[in-house]
Amino acid sequence: MIDFNFSHNFFVSNKALRSGGAIKWNLLPPLTQNNSFFNNSAPYGDSIASFAARMVLMIYNSSGQNELIYDSSKDIKTLILNDVSSGNEINYLMEIKLLDFDNNIVTLEKG
């Protein structure tokens, strides 16, 4: 196994077309200490990007104000939605977010 250690670096004005304006890692996270990131940009992960590590479910009551009624990142209990059956309309807006190791929302590449 190879470890990558980035320490005491300045990453300035780097730009990526897809992800990881300064650093993009895929298998093992790099060890980072005392680095500075300024003005880096990418559609996902302006400074550092990785890959989806977990999925979060958000459910909103869609009858008017889109009030958040469930967030799986904060509430890990089993979720039961009553009055939901095949063919019936539901009054919930469900959103699934993919998060990376740093809890940033991962954007998917189009293609």
Q: What tens digit of pLDDT does each residue of 52-104 get?
A: 888 888 888 876 677 888 788 776 666 777 777 888 777 788 888 888 888 88
Taking residue 62's Cβ as centre, other Cβ atoms within 10 Å add up to: 14
**What mean pLDDT is reported for the chain?**
84
Please determine, for residue 14, whether its predicted confidence score (pLDDT) is greater than 60.
yes
Instruction: Show me where the domains of the chain are located.
Output: 5-49, 54-99
User: Exposure of 42 by Cβ count < 10 A (0-12 exposed, 13-18 middle, 19+ buried)?
Assistant: buried
pTM of the model: 0.68
